[in-house]
Structure 1
Amino acid sequence: MNAAIARSSGPGRPKDLEKRAAILEAAKRLFPEHGFEGTSMDAIAASAGVSKLTVYSHFKDKETLFAEAVRIKCVEQLPPELFDVPVEGSLRTQLHVIARAFFGLIVSEESIALHRLLTAGTGSSQKLAQVFWEAGPQVVQRVFGDLLRREIAAGHLEIPDVERASSQFFCLLKGELHARLLCGCCGGPFGEAEIEAHLGATVDMFLRAYATRG
C-alpha cells in the first residue's frame, strides 16, 4: 500500500505509519487466504514483520483490523476522486470509469475468496458479513449516492430514491459475469470485449432509467 493511503489511515510518526501499512497488507492477504478464524494476530504480525503488541497498538482487535483491511481495499480500488468530479463533465464517461473500477474489485481473487468466507455459514460469518458491509459496500454506495445527488442538482438525473438507485447500479454491475465467477463456471478469465460490453450495457440501462428526459 502506498504512503499516501497509509497517511490517510491515521496519525503517527512515519515509522508507525509504515508498520500500520505493513499490518494492513498482511491482513488483506491472509484473511482471504485463511479465513477470519484461520488468521491469527500472531500470523499477521509475523507476516508484517512486527510484534503482536504493535498490531494491537494500531488495531484493538481482529475484527477492527478486518474492517479496516476491507475499507482500505475499497479505497485503493475506488479512490474518493473517482466520485468527486465536475458536474459539467461527461456523466456517462464517469459512470463507466466507476463501473470498471468496481468490477475489477469484485472479480479479484481476494474479493472472491472473501465472498466465500462470508457465505461459508460458520458461526462468525454473520457478524463478519455485517462488518464487511459497513466497511465496504455501504461506504461505496453512500459516496456514489452523493455523486448522484450532485448530478440531480445539476439537472442531469431524475432519481426519486437515491439510495435505491445507488444499490441498483452496483447490483447491475455484478450481473451474470460475477455470478458465474462465484459458481466457478466462467470457463476461464473474462475477455476484455465481454467485460466492456457488460459495463457499457449497465451504464446505458442506468442512464435510460434515470437521465433527465430531453
Structure 2
Amino acid sequence: MVPPRPRRTADPAPAAGPGRPKDLGKRAAILDAAKRLFTAQGYEGVSMDAIANEAGVSKLTVYSHFGDKDALFAEAVKAHCERGVPPTLLEDRPQQPVRERLTEIATAFYAMISAPEAIAGQRMLCSPQVMDTALPQLFWEAGPRRVQDGLKTLLDARVAAGDLDIPDTGLAASQFFTLLKGEPHARMVFGCGCSGDPDMTPEAHVRACIDMFLRAYGVRG
C-alpha cells in the first residue's frame, strides 16, 4: 500500500466546515450594513440581498451568520446597545461613589438613545407594519432588557454594600431608564425638538434624573 503523499505548502487550504469559526470581519460588516439599511429603509423595506450587497458578501454568508432577517435585526439591536452601553459599563466598581457611577451609566445611555439610528429604530418599531409582529419583543430582549438586567445586578450590589436603600431593584432599574428617556426622548421621536426647555442640556437632564433617583433610593443619614 502506497502511503499518502504529504501535503505541500502550496496545496489549497480545506474549505471551512460547519465546525470552523465564522469570519468575524464579515460578521461585523453584515451588522453594520444591517443597521444602516434598517435605519434608512425600515425593516420591511430591507431584503437580505440588499444587506449582503451593502456588506460586500454573499447572501449565503449572511444566512450562515444569522439564520434569518429577524435574528439579524435582533443582533443589530444588541450590537448597537453593547456599543453604547457595553457590559463592562454596568459592572460594579465598589470604590466609586454611587452618584458618579450612576452618572456614567446615565450619560452613556442617554447618548445611545439620542443617536439618529436609535430614534429611527424607535419610530420603525411604532409603525403599524411592525407593531403586530415579533420585532418589538425581539428588540426588547436584545437591547433594553439586557441593559436593565445589568443595572439591576449593579443596584443589588450597592444595596448589599449599604449605599442604596431599594426594596425592588428590578423596578428601580426600570424607573432609572424611564426617567432618563422622559420627555426629551419622546420629543426626539416625534420630531419636535430634543427638549421643551432650551436650557435643559443633556448634562442637566442626566443630573436632574440622578438627583431624583437618589432622593428616592439614597441611604438616609
1:20 is aligned to: 27
**Counterpart contact for 2:184–2:194, Cα < 8 Å:** no
Are 2:149 and 1:142 aligned? yes
Task: Give the whole-Å Cα distance in 1 for the aligned partners of 2:118 and 2:199.
Answer: 19
Residue among 66, 69, 72 paired with 2:79: 72
Task: Give the whole-Å Cα distance in 2 for the aligned partners of 1:83 and 1:187.
Answer: 26
Residue among 83, 93, 106 paired with 1:86: 93
Residue among 53, 58, 68 paired with 1:61: 68
Greater percentage in helix: 1
Are 2:139 and 1:132 aligned? yes
Deviations 1:25-57 (A, max 9, x none): 101111111111111000000010000000011
Amino acid at match of 2:203: E
Amino acid at match of 2:124: L
Task: Give the whole-Å Cα distance in 1 for the aligned partners of 2:109 and 2:149.
Answer: 14
Gap runs ≥5 in structure 1 = 1-10
2:181 is aligned to: 174
For the structure 1 residues 73 and 104, does the alpha-carbon distance in structure 2 shift closer, same or farther, using more than 3 Å as the test?
Answer: same
Task: Give the whole-Å Cα distance in 2 for the aligned partners of 1:121 and 1:132.
Answer: 16
Task: Give the whole-Å Cα distance in 1 for the aligned partners of 2:72 and 2:48.
Answer: 9
Query: What is the TM-score when the length of structure 2 is the normalising length?
Result: 0.86
Residue among 42, 65, 75 paired with 2:49: 42
Q: What SS class does the counterpart of residue 45 from structure 2 fall into? A: coil
C-alpha RMSD of the superposition = 1.9
Deviations 1:54-83 (A, max 9, x none): 001101100000000100110000011111
Query: What is the TM-score when the length of structure 1 is the normalising length?
Result: 0.89
**Counterpart contact for 1:118–1:125, Cα < 8 Å:** no
1:186 is aligned to: 193
1:194-209 residue pairs with structure 2 within 5 A? 194-209=201-216
Residue 187 of structure 1: how far off its partner (Å): 7.0
2:165 is aligned to: 158
Deviates more, 1:148-157 or 1:86-95: 86-95
Identity, in percent, stands at 53
Deviations 1:120-153 (A, max 9, x none): 1115654211110010001110001000001011
1:7 is aligned to: none
Runs of 4+ in 1 over 4 A off after TM superposition: 190-193
**Counterpart contact for 2:124–2:130, Cα < 8 Å:** no
Task: Give the whole-Å Cα distance in 1 for the aligned partners of 2:119 and 2:90.
Answer: 24
Greater gyration radius: 2
Amino acid at match of 1:146: T
Task: Give the whole-Å Cα distance in 1 for the aligned partners of 2:126 and 2:200.
Answer: 30
Amino acid at match of 2:40: E
Task: Give the whole-Å Cα distance in 2 for the aligned partners of 1:187 and 1:116.
Answer: 15
For the structure 1 residues 151 and 125, does the alpha-carbon distance in structure 2 shift closer, same or farther, using more than 3 Å as the test?
Answer: same
Residue 182 of structure 1: how far off its partner (Å): 1.5
2:7 is aligned to: none
